Amino acid sequence: DERVTLHIAGTFPMESGSGGWAGGEACRPAVLMALEDVNNRLDIIPGYKLNINVSNSKCQPGLASQQLYDFLYTPPTKLMLLAGCSPVTTLIAEAAPVWNLVVISYGGSSPALSNRERFPTLFRTHPSANMQNPTRLSLFEKFNWKRISILQSVEEVFTSTSKDLEELCRKNNIRADRQSFYGDPTDAIKTLVRQDARIIVGLFYETEARKVLCQAYRHKLYGPRYVWVFIGWYADTWYIPPVEEHLRCTADEMRTAAQYHFTTESIMLAGKDVMSQTGMTGQEFQRRLNEKLVTDPANAGGYPEAPLAYDAVWALALAFKCAKERLPYGVKLEHFNYENGTISQTLYECVRNTSFIGVSGQVMFSDSGDRIAKTQIEQMQDGKYVLMGYYDSNKQELEWFDKEKWFTERGPPPDSTIIKKNLI
Ligand SMILES: CC1(C)CO[C@@H](CC(=O)O)CN1
């Protein structure tokens, strides 16, 4: 094989030792599959083939920084970097410009990563958590809710998202009150009761979501007068209390409190019959990936995000193709040496102009390198999630299927905007 090899490097969080996202389990096989597919096609980067150096970041920035230096100070030169979870993406994307490297993140959801000053060469195939805020707003506007409450746990990703949502509501003259908690939500729930909160957006991980739901049940913050809007990427049965968490609620009580809540999430898999430029539909990609997984796909870490990892390699390969065609005569990709501004600038422009249909849908980046993706809204009905509609942030359009259910014939609860004046 007389093709020239182009080297890249990628970090994958293979286990969640530090409680971060263990997405490498399904995302690394997806990346290796994409490299195989790209290398098997001679028309993507004619005359070249790709090779990747991988490491297990365990979603720990310190470990990832050591691995990054190993990648960069061990020949051969790498032309681009793939990164996974937000904390590691933050570190790698902050360091990469020193070596004139572009970074593509398949797992970074933190809104803080949209900062072009701090991360000038970062692109993400994973949508920012902020992408769900226009979707939430479209839900409030559909049911004419003018006062909402936000309940978040203190992680940076949820603080960034809740501040963005609060600002978006303010711009659309919707009143938003924010509450945050660390670990135990009980006091925050009591405050929501005192504030007569009705429409409540929850921003926290699954474990905290169960504590919130149980406290909501205990404080009767559920039923006809309330609507909860949770994050949609929890497991479908997230509300069932695991024995080891010693929640003081039974599965029935949790199901009762969870009845008719809404969720929002970014769509990470191309539509049913969408044929991607990579030659597969989303379903065919998942079938191939399932064969490569040693564990049951339903439990493989990062399984929902695997299409994003697969498409990250295609974005990188198509950028190499684009750069090969644009480089000045005589300048070749394999001449890159962490110093060459022409090659790195050309690669940056090529990634910025990415536009192709991948297995995760249309892959395009905003000026801050963010993935532009659709979102979907579901509602929990008798323990099962039912699709309510899609929100397209580009067109600012909500496609709604009129499948929502309410506790009473009267329909959605009022948001009790008229705050009872304190009786003098
Ligand atoms: C949807 C989720 C689970 C959000 O966190 C991402 C991981 C991270 O942002 O660190 C992975 N995808």
179 Cβ closer than 6 Å to some ligand 1 atom: no
Residue of 21, 89, 106, 124 to mutate, ligand 1, most atoms within 8 A of C-beta: 21
Query: Rounded to whole angstroms, how far apart are CA atoms 332 and 327?
Result: 7
**232 C-alpha vs ligand 1 centroid, how far in Å?**
12
13 Cβ closer than 6 Å to some ligand 1 atom: no
pLDDT at 419: 55
Query: Rounded to whole angstroms, how far apart are CA atoms 219 and 171?
Result: 32
Question: What is the pTM (predicted TM-score) of this model?
Answer: 0.94
Atom of ligand 1 nearest to the CA of 59: 10
pLDDT at 394: 86
pLDDT at 1: 80
Pairing state between β 375-381 and 262-266: antiparallel
pLDDT at 416: 77
pLDDT at 18: 63
Q: Is 110:156 a contact under the CB 8 Å cutoff?
A: yes
85 Cβ closer than 6 Å to some ligand 1 atom: yes
pLDDT at 423: 46
Q: Whose CA is nearest to atom 1 of ligand 1?
A: 233
302 Cβ closer than 6 Å to some ligand 1 atom: no
**60 C-alpha vs ligand 1 centroid, how far in Å?**
14
Low-confidence ranges of the chain (pLDDT < 50): 421-424
pLDDT at 424: 44
Buried-exposed string 161-172: b where 16+ CB fall within 10 A, e elsewhere? bbbbbbebbeee
Nearest to 22 by CA among 301, 280, 242: 301
